[in-house]
Amino acid sequence: MPHYIYGEVLEIGSEEVKKDQTIKIKEKQQFPLTIKRLGINGEGVGYFKRQVVFVPGALPGEEVVVEAVKVHPKFAEGRVKKVRKRSEHRTKPPCPVYEQCGGCQLQHLSYEQQLVEKRDILMQSLEKHTRFDLEKLDVKPMIGMVEPWYYRNKSQFQLGFRDGKIISGLYSLNSHKLVDIPECIVQHPATNKVTNEVKRILSDFKVKIYNERTKKGTVKTVVTRVGVTTGEIQVVLVTVGKDLPRKEMILDEINKRLPEVKSIAQNINPKPTSLIFGDETVHLYGTESIVERLDKFSYELSARAFFQLNPSQTIHLYNEVRDAAGLTGHEKLVDAYCGVGTIGMWLASGAKEIRGMDVIKESIDNARKNSEKFGMENSVYEVGTAEEWLPKWKAEGWRPDVVVVDPPRTGCEPSFLKTILKVKPKKFIYVSCNPSTLAKDLKTLSHAYEVEYIQPVDMFPQTAHVESVAKLVLKEAGSR
């Protein structure tokens, strides 16, 4: 089967498309297309006269008529004009703004088939970026959700002003058009409720909403996070400057209308960037953190601390990490990119010692509080990178037996991978949220490690995101 990832042409059937081949499709041209598979962003992938075409909304097995909307040197993007043959797995999206929003990509595909196709996205990346024998590689069926809706515990909704009222939502894909989303059906209901009420409060006090075109206004974003098991809610108002007009009145009103809100903060982000948070966060009301519980553990979550967005699936994910680590009580373990220490806490009872690091100081502060609260005397958390701390600890005679890493979508830094190949822990457990960067990093690590298996977990139903736990074991334990 031909496979393709944006910008790079791969083998198509028995022939190979050369990288210097010029695309022949013209903009606005219409043509029939059979969809072969899903791309890494959830779009349908087909081939017209040996040219690769990406079509959002099209599903594997469908025969469609496509109009080319954008033509690139190595591929084209199209939109569906007509579906001649529908997939048996196509379903009606329940979200009224699904096609405008772009936050979800797969609501039109039955959930059971989402799990199949998302595992295939992982397989495509492994085929593209590695030389593994995929027939022998143990890639397990994806672990899905019983109820794949209303699962996200955190919303980050941009604010806008339209037709005389404040709206909140997400920018439509590849545009500056803000889609108003009064109720997002993948968000926890509490986040929808609180965001809408905060909008009303800002409107009642006539707070100016920031306009990115005129560069005027105050509030840019409302961030809402709920502790699903505790019911505690945290609100962060992201503003362009330090001034927040009628601040005390706003806080009093939030407290009056939303008693479940236990923590309110203001984040200042003056930069015209797609990043939500700026560098400065000011605590305004209540506690500085809210509490979330997973199984027997509870976690302190400050405004900028990273925490998994799907708590129920996080339990499955961390259990997979624990099983992959296979701790016996004698191992020294490093939790790299540790955030607030969630993974380390999950594994602590089976390890002799846990050490973690993160570049965000607030996360390390939370990790230390969390570990102290649970009497984890075998834990150490430091601000900084694994590239800094692992060589230092090695020089002091301390070397981990197991390293667990949960990096951002960009994957592991090359310097971190080089450090791992030098330190050589016996086991390396990679928690990935991006199949492409996972595959690239596994290729680098395969010089010293065997991939024992990969277990995908569906952390984000209705989207194309694929989360995985990969277990790697050192090829030559004696080489340490």
**Dist CA 151 CA 153 (whole Å):** 6
Three-state secondary-structure class, residue 306: coil
Question: Residues of 301-338 as b/e, b for ≥16 C-beta within 10 angstroms?
Answer: bbbbbbbbbbbbbbebbbebbbebbebeeebbbbbbbb
Dihedral sign, CA of 165, 239, 463, 459? Answer: negative
State the catalytic residue, choosing from 95, 338, 412, 433.
433
Cα 468 to Cα 366: distance, rounded to the nearest angstrom: 25
Closest CA to 54 of 198, 112, 36, 155: 36
The CA dihedral of 96, 102, 107, 108, to the nearest 10 degrees, is 90
Do residues 155 and 169 make contact, with C-beta atoms less than 8 angstroms apart? no
Tokens 């992201």 — which residue? 238
**Greatest distance between any 2 Cα atoms in the chain:** 70
Distance CA 260, CA 233 (A): 6
Name residue, tokens 């409060």. Answer: 201
Contact 75, 58 (CB under 8 A): no
| C-beta atoms surrounding 394 within 10 Å | 15
The H-or-E segment that residue 83 falls in is strand 76-85
Helix (H) or strand (E) holding 422: helix 414-423
Instruction: Give the sign of the dihedral formed by CA 48, CA 50, CA 56, CA 62.
Output: positive
> Could you confirm whether 433 is annotated as catalytic?
yes
**Beta strand spans in 97-232 (E):** 154-162, 165-171, 178-180, 219-226
Residue 155 CA to residue 237 CA, distance in Å, equals: 12
Rounded CA-CA distance 39/117 in Å is 9
At 236, which helix (H) or strand (E)? strand 233-239
Residue 289 CA to residue 370 CA, distance in Å, equals 12
Rg of the chain in Å (alpha carbons): 24
The rounded distance, in Å, linking the Cα atoms of 149 and 46 is 30
> How far apart are alpha carbons 464 and 260 in whole angstroms?
32
What residues act catalytically? 433
